[in-house]
Amino acid sequence: ECDWSSDVCSSDLIQFANGLLKEFYPKRFDFSTITQNDLDVVVNIINNRPRKCLGYKTPARSFLQHKHKVSNLYLQSIYVLNL
């Protein structure tokens, strides 16, 4: 398991993300030639691609599940505090 705060893990994540972006944009690509919408389309594709490390869930789905879990915990804590 990776310690997400470590430099090694952060470096690995950055390299992985760079590799995904290189599938769409080659080295020395001039990003001034694309719109925000163009970039949003690529990010959407990347975030909806299943990952082995996420149990073949997509990053988008994994994020939403985590967000839902955190929201539920927050609501439960408010309920307990108001008792």
Supply the pTM of this predicted model: 0.62
Burial zone of 78 (CB within 10 Å; 0-12 exposed, 13-18 middle, 19+ buried): exposed
Query: Is pLDDT at 4 greater than 60 in this prediction?
Result: no
The predicted structure's pLDDT at residue 30: 94
Which pLDDT value is given to residue 83? Answer: 63
- What is the Cα–Cα distance from 61 to 49, expressed in whole angstroms? 10
Which tokens in the block code for residue 25? 């944009």
Q: What is the pLDDT of residues 8-51, one digit of tens each?
A: 556 777 888 888 889 999 889 999 999 999 999 999 999 899 98
